[in-house]
Amino acid sequence: MSLHATYYATAAESNHLRLHSMRSTPMQMHVKRMATGIAAVGLMLSLGAVAAPATADDDEYKVLVVGETLGFRHSHIDDTTLAVAKLGQQNGFTVDVWDSRQPALTLTSTPFTTAKDLSQYATIIFASPVDATNNLDPLRPRLLDDAELSAFQGYIRGGGGFVGLHAATDSMHTVPWYSDLTGGGARFLGHPAQQTATLHVESPNHPSTSMLPAAWELFDEWYNFTSNPRDSVHVLITLDESTYNPGSGAMGADHPLSWCQNFEGGRSWYEGAGHVDANYSDPMFLAHILGGIEWTAGVVSGGGDCVTFGEVDKVLAGLDDGSQKYTKLSAQLANYLDNAEIAADAGDHAGAAATLRKAQAKAHGLQDDVLVSKLGNLVTWQRGLGS
């Protein structure tokens, strides 16, 4: 039985209860981005049509919470499930659960059958579904087998949403695609003892961070990751390692903790905190999680909508028609993008925004919709960082 069914069965109490490093040169960066963009466009063209997932256009939408585990079981999974159910009740979405350790709530079989079946969900929440694949043994069973993974990939590529909580980065280590979905290939590496740390909100205008203080103190289990995902994602929150003991896997001055991205047609959002059960009754933490759910479900937008420089480069590469006009304008746009990213990396967000406005004006010569819109999102993002 799903949470949807369980809660509606007890709805007598209410009329309607809804669960509800070293840097590449600009030319090197441009060449790498253009190659990546061409590959991405080819991949998308090869996928064919996929059923579009439910979105915020529906009066009520549905999400899936995945708590199934094949390895270490986090105690927060039950708390997370109930917290998401309550958020749904309060905010207009219903909840299905796939987790055999919650027999009263779980679906009777895997929901990862086909992309079309998964399209009933506006977003899918991975609540620490650890599967013990961190030894990289290709023979060890994964959270999703080949057929289930194919269905999930089709769902994401058809416009689906993904929310990763805490140990979502400690699952399917042998699937590079999944590591890219969760965030730039970054996977769980280890953690020190649970302790209080200061989090810095880096992107304050995103719908999942706008309610947070600029410096946020929280007690949790702080993950170190195998790599820094910053080059591939829109970083939302960083950890200040000077405020706690990060242990032997310390990532240094730049330690992203929460991030988001537009990925292969879908939307991905990740939060590395969430180990501590009590945080799922913390109103601020829950508001942050709700923002991630709603953004990936397409309910809310803002703060640049997680558009990154690399994403715009892919759009630009996909417009290549071999014409002299494209060759000339794309080179000019690439130069603007490289200079804006260099300014952004140096902390000159106002300068980055100004350069991006020039790029946006130039982009009208190539495409008036997607390219211009995404450049506008970069402007919004950089202005938010500057504020």
Please check whether residue 131 is in contact with residue 141, taking contact to mean a CB–CB distance below 8 angstroms: yes
Express each pLDDT in 69-112 by its tens digit: 999 999 999 999 999 999 999 999 999 999 999 999 999 999 99
Say what the pLDDT of residue 9 is: 35
Domain ranges of the chain: 61-297, 309-386
Helix axes 309-318, 26-47, angle to 10 degrees: 60
Closest CA to 144 of 136, 156, 135, 153: 153
Contact 373, 356 (CB under 8 A): no
Among residues 63, 66, 62, 143, which one has the least CA distance to residue 99? 66
Quote the DSSP letter at residue 106. Answer: B
369 contact partners, CB below 8 Å, separation of at least 6: none
What is the rounded distance in angstroms from the CA atom of residue 326 to the CA atom of residue 21? 32
Contact 101, 67 (CB under 8 A): yes
pLDDT recorded at residue 27? 30
Are the C-beta atoms of 271 and 166 separated by less than 8 Å?
Answer: yes
Q: Are 112 and 144 in contact (CB under 8 A)?
A: yes
**Residues forming beta bridges with residue 304, ordered by sequence position:** none
- Amino acid letter, residue 221: E
Q: Are 100 and 67 spatial neighbours (Cβ–Cβ below 8 Å)? A: no
Q: What tokens appear for 208 in the block?
A: 């999942």
Which amino acid is present at 317?
Answer: A
Q: Which fold has domain 61-297?
A: Rossmann fold (3.40.50)
pLDDT digits (tens, 9 = 90+) for 365-379: 998 899 999 999 999
- The per-residue pLDDT for 266 is 97
Distance, in Å, from the CA atom of 83 to the CA atom of 89, rounded to the nearest integer, reads 10
Q: How confident is the model at residue 28 (pLDDT cuts 50, 70, 90)?
A: very low
> For the chain, what is the radius of gyration of the CA atoms?
21
Give the three-class secondary structure for 141.
coil
> Given this model, what pLDDT does residue 54 score?
66
pLDDT at 386: 82
pLDDT digits (tens, 9 = 90+) for 110-167: 999 999 999 999 999 999 999 999 999 999 999 999 999 999 999 999 999 999 999 9
Whole-prediction pTM value? 0.85
Cα–Cα distance for residue pair 382/269, rounded to 1 Å: 19
